[in-house]
Amino acid sequence: MTPEKIEIATSAGAREGQKIFVIKGPLNIHTLFEFRNAIRDDSSAFLIVDFGGVPFIDSAGLGALVSAQISVQKTGRKLAFVGLNPRVKALIDMTHVGQFFRIYTTIQDAEAASL
């Protein structure tokens, strides 16, 4: 069995202090460490994470999202998630953790909300 992989591409946001992470691949027990380290190593004031290329998130991946939120809050930064497919959104809704996240439909919506 081939190990699962996650790709994280970064780019600057539309405004100063914004950074965008574009994630491709599943966020699960096999890939969460790379995701977690990327979030923790980033120092942007406002980080937007695009999940458009994430087919699914397991419970460990969901824990990584919560950990990411806590990590950025501790340093006074902001985090937003965009592009959640229905499967990922359903997991977040079912577990009632969506109230802790800033979730937007598009990167542009998230960028505008960071004003």
Architecture, CATH, for domain 13-113:
2-Layer Sandwich (3.30)
Per residue of the chain (115 residues), give pLDDT as tens. 456 899 999 999 988 999 999 999 999 999 999 999 999 999 999 999 999 999 999 999 999 999 999 999 999 999 999 999 999 999 999 999 999 999 999 999 999 886 5
What's the pLDDT tens digit per position in 71-104?
Answer: 999 999 999 999 999 999 999 999 999 999 999 9
Please, which residues have CB within 8 angstroms of residue 102's CB and are 6 or more apart in sequence? 78, 79, 80, 81, 110, 113
Q: Percent of the chain having pLDDT more than 70? A: 96
* pLDDT given for residue 113 in this prediction: 85
DSSP 3-state assignment of 84? Answer: coil
Measure the CA–CA gap between 25 and 8, rounded to whole angstroms: 9
Q: Exposed (0-12), middle (13-18) or buried (19+): which is 110, by Cβ within 10 Å?
A: buried
Q: What is the DSSP letter of 27?
A: B
| Cα angle value 16/18/19 (rounded, 5°) | 130
